[in-house]
Structure 1
Amino acid sequence: MSAMLEYQDLKSPIHKLTGATKLIALVFWALASMVTYDTRILGAMFIFSIIMFKVSKVKFKDISFVLYFILVFLLINNIAIFFFSPYEGVEIYNSRTDLFHLVGPYTLTTQQLFYQFNVTLKYFSIIPMALLFMVTTNPSEFAASLNRIGVSYKISYSVAIALRYIPDIQRDYHDISFAQQARGIDMSKKAGLTSRIKNSAAIIMPLIFSSLERIESISSAMELRAFGNNKKRTWYSGRPFEKRDYIAIAVVICVFIAALVATKLNGGRFFNPF
C-alpha cells in the first residue's frame, strides 16, 4: 500500500510558499475551474498543475492509493451523467452528431462525449492542485498564516488539527480493514460488488467510533490547557509573506481573469467547436 495523503517535508519552491498563499492560490484556481467549460483553458490548467506537481518533487506513486479512489469516482460520475442526462451535450451545443445507438433511449453522441470530457477535465484541473495543497502544506505553518491574514486563531488551529487528522483517519481505516479481513470479511476484488458494499459497514462503523473518541480526547486536552481564553496567541511556525508568495498569487489571479475573459468571448461558460 502506498504512502498516506499527508504533508511531505521536501525542499521545493512550492514548499517554500506560505500556507496562506497556497490557500489563496487554491481558491482562485478552483474559481477559475468552476466559471468555465472552455477546453483550452481547462487543458492549460491541467498541464500547469502537472508541472507544479513535478516542481514540488512529490511523486504520484506516493499518493497512488488516493488517486485510485479519485479515478473510480470519476468513472462512476461519468456513468451517472450519461445515465441521467444522455443528451445534455446536445442541448448545450445546439447540435447533434450520433455515433452509435446503445440501448433503449440511449444513443452516444459526439456532443455528449465532448461535454463529459470537459466535466472530467474540470476535475483533472483542480484535483492535482488540491492534492498538492494537502501534501506540501505544514498544518502548523498553515494555521499561523491564516491567523496572520486575519482569520481567528481558534479557527486557524481547528483547520490545522483537521489537516493533521486526515493521515490518522487513513491509518485507522487501513488498520480496521486489515483486522476485519483477518476475521474473514472479504474486501478483495474476488468478492462481488454488493458483498463489498455490505462488508464495508464493518469498517465504517468502527472508524466513526474511533474518530469520535479521538475528537473527545483532543477537545478535553485543549480544554485542560485553557485553549481560547486569550484573544491572541503566538506561533512557532509563522512566516511572513515574501516576493515569491505575491508572484504565486498574481499568477493564479491571472488564470482566473483568463477564465472570465474566455467566458465573455465564448458568450457563455461553454466553448462550442461544433
Structure 2
Amino acid sequence: MNSEKVLGYQPGNTFIHHLNATTKLIFLLLVSIACMVTYDTRFLAVICVFSLACLKLANIKWQQISFIVKFILAFAIINILAVFIFQPTYGQNLYESKNILLKAGYFTVTKEELFYLLNLILKYICSVPLVLLFLLTTNPSQFASSLNKIGISYKISYAVSLALRYIPTIQTDYWAISAAQQARGNELSKKASLGKRIKGTLNIVMPLIFSSIDRIDIISTAMQLRRFGSKKKRTWYVYKPFKPADYAVTLLAVVIVVIVIILWQLNGGRFYNPFR
C-alpha cells in the first residue's frame, strides 16, 4: 500500500518538524480555542491563510491528507446545510439586521445568514490544517517524553504515544482488509454503487475491530512482561529539550489569544458585525 495514504507521523527536515512536540500541542490548543471562541471574520481569515501556509512550509503532500480532508469537507457541508435548514434566520437575529438576497418563505436567504455560515467555514479551515500538521509532523515518542517532562504521568504520556502510533496502523489494516475483500470479488472502488460501497465498508469494520483487539492484547502482554508501570519514573531515549524556536512559537500562540481578547473588547463580544 502507498504509505502516502496513511495519516500518521511523516519524518521531515522542516522548521515545524524540528519544533518540540509539546510546543506544537500548546500552539494547536491555544489557537484552536481562540478560533472557536471568536467570530471575527478578519481574524479567522488571517489564521486560515497562516494555517494553510504552515502546511506548505511542512511539505505536506495532498496525497497524505486527501482522504481525511474529503471526509471533513463532507461533514462540514452537512453541518452547514443543517445549520441553515434548522434556523435560516439565525444570522439576521445575531447581527440585528436583514438584507434579503433570495426570498423563499422559511428558507429566505439573507446576507447575514451567509456571513455567519462563512464564519463557520473559516473555523474549519483554521483548525483542520493545524490538527493535520500536529499528526503528520509529531514523533509520538518525542511527544510522550515531552508531556512527561512537563509533569504529566509517564503512563498517560505513553498511552497518548500509543494512540498516535495506532492511527496509521488502523489505516494500514483497513486498506489491507479492503484489498483482501476486493480480491474476493467485492467491489469497493468508485466503480461500485454508493450502497454497495457502504455495505462493503461495514464488512471491513468487524475484521478491523477483531484485529485491533488482538493487537491491544499483544501490546498489553508485552508491556506487562517488561514491568511497565512498576516504577514511579522512567527515562526517555528521544527526549527533545525546548529551544529558542519553541519559546518563540509558544509566545506567538499566547499573542494570538491576546489578540482575540482585544477583538472581543473592540467588537463588544465574540461577533464582528459589518452590518452596523
TM-score by length of structure 2 reads 0.93
**AA at the equivalent of 1:94:** E
CA distance in structure 1 between the partners assigned to 2:237 and 2:47 by the alignment: 35
Residues 1:131 and 2:132 aligned together: yes
Cα deviation for residue 126 of structure 1 reads 0.9
**AA at the equivalent of 2:102:** F
CA distance in structure 1 between the partners assigned to 2:211 and 2:110 by the alignment: 48
Cα deviation for residue 177 of structure 1 reads 2.1
CA distance in structure 1 between the partners assigned to 2:202 and 2:229 by the alignment: 37
Alignment of 1:130-209 (within 5 A): 130-209=131-210
**Partner residue in 1 for 2:33:** 31
Cα deviation for residue 189 of structure 1 reads 4.1
**Partner residue in 2 for 1:75:** 77
**Partner residue in 1 for 2:11:** 9
CA distance in structure 2 between the partners assigned to 1:96 and 1:200 by the alignment: 45
Question: Match of 2:108, SS?
Answer: strand
**Partner residue in 1 for 2:229:** 228
Question: Match of 2:5, SS?
Answer: coil
Q: Which runs of 5+ in 2 are unaligned?
A: none
CA contact (8 A) 1:35 1:263 kept: no
**AA at the equivalent of 2:265:** K
Question: Match of 1:200, SS?
Answer: helix
**AA at the equivalent of 1:124:** I
Deviations 1:153-200 (A, max 9, x none): 001011001000000111111122222333344434454544443443
Cα deviation for residue 19 of structure 1 reads 0.7
CA distance in structure 2 between the partners assigned to 1:57 and 1:22 by the alignment: 16
Cα deviation for residue 46 of structure 1 reads 0.8
CA distance in structure 1 between the partners assigned to 2:182 and 2:92 by the alignment: 47
CA distance in structure 1 between the partners assigned to 2:268 and 2:193 by the alignment: 48
Decide which of 50, 53, 58 is 1:51's aligned counterpart.
53
**AA at the equivalent of 2:130:** M
**AA at the equivalent of 1:217:** I
Question: Match of 1:99, SS?
Answer: strand
Question: Match of 1:86, SS?
Answer: coil
Distance 1:71 1:25, change over 3 A: same
CA distance in structure 2 between the partners assigned to 1:199 and 1:110 by the alignment: 42
Residues 1:116 and 2:117 aligned together: yes
**AA at the equivalent of 2:127:** I
**Partner residue in 1 for 2:266:** 265
**Partner residue in 1 for 2:68:** 66
**AA at the equivalent of 2:129:** P
**Partner residue in 2 for 1:218:** 219
Deviations 1:109-144 (A, max 9, x none): 211111111001001001101100111100111111
CA distance in structure 2 between the partners assigned to 1:93 and 1:243 by the alignment: 43
CA distance in structure 2 between the partners assigned to 1:46 and 1:7 by the alignment: 23
Question: Match of 2:171, SS?
Answer: helix
Question: Match of 1:248, SS?
Answer: helix
Out of 206-215 and 28-37, give the one that drifted further.
206-215
**AA at the equivalent of 1:197:** I
CA contact (8 A) 1:143 1:156 kept: yes
**AA at the equivalent of 1:12:** T
CA contact (8 A) 1:263 1:269 kept: yes
Alignment size in residue pairs: 273
TM-score by length of structure 1 reads 0.93
- How much identity, in percent, do the aligned residues show? 50
Distance 1:51 1:87, change over 3 A: same
